[in-house]
Amino acid sequence: MPNITLTFANEINTSVQVGDTAYYSVVSTVGGFSTSSSITEIGPISSIDRSAKQIICNPSIIISTTTPPGGSFVLFSKDNRANMSSPLGYYAQAKFKNDSTVKGEMFSAACEVFESSK
């Protein structure tokens, strides 16, 4: 099947990678609000040209190959198998010290970890 080339007016999101899956949703205005009804899969992203602001999708696995109409909202998703993240190789070390002369008791300690943008 032929490739679908998407050209954007704005910069392409820096998180988009080859292998991600592209989707689109037709946006309409109702009562002053932008709404969309459904999300349609375009296909896997096979090439990204950031200087030309273009993404090329290869919709070989999709039955219908319709190019998104102008003004559509384009989004992407990542493959969970390739982009699972865990802090392998990274560690943190904490030292709790009570400088008081009075006995202290700590009930809990917590840490929040998240994946940063790549």
For the chain, the structural domain boundaries read 4-77
Q: How many CB atoms lie within 10 A of CB 45?
A: 19
Secondary structure letter of residue 10 according to DSSP: S
Q: Is the pLDDT of residue 82 over 90?
A: no
Question: What's the rounded Cα separation, in Å, for the pair 19 and 57?
Answer: 9
Tens of pLDDT, residue by residue over 16-74, are: 989 899 998 888 887 778 787 788 888 889 999 999 999 988 876 555 556 788 888 88
For residues 42 and 16, is the Cβ–Cβ distance under 8 A?
A: no
pLDDT attached to residue 54: 92
- Percent of the chain's residues with pLDDT above 90: 12
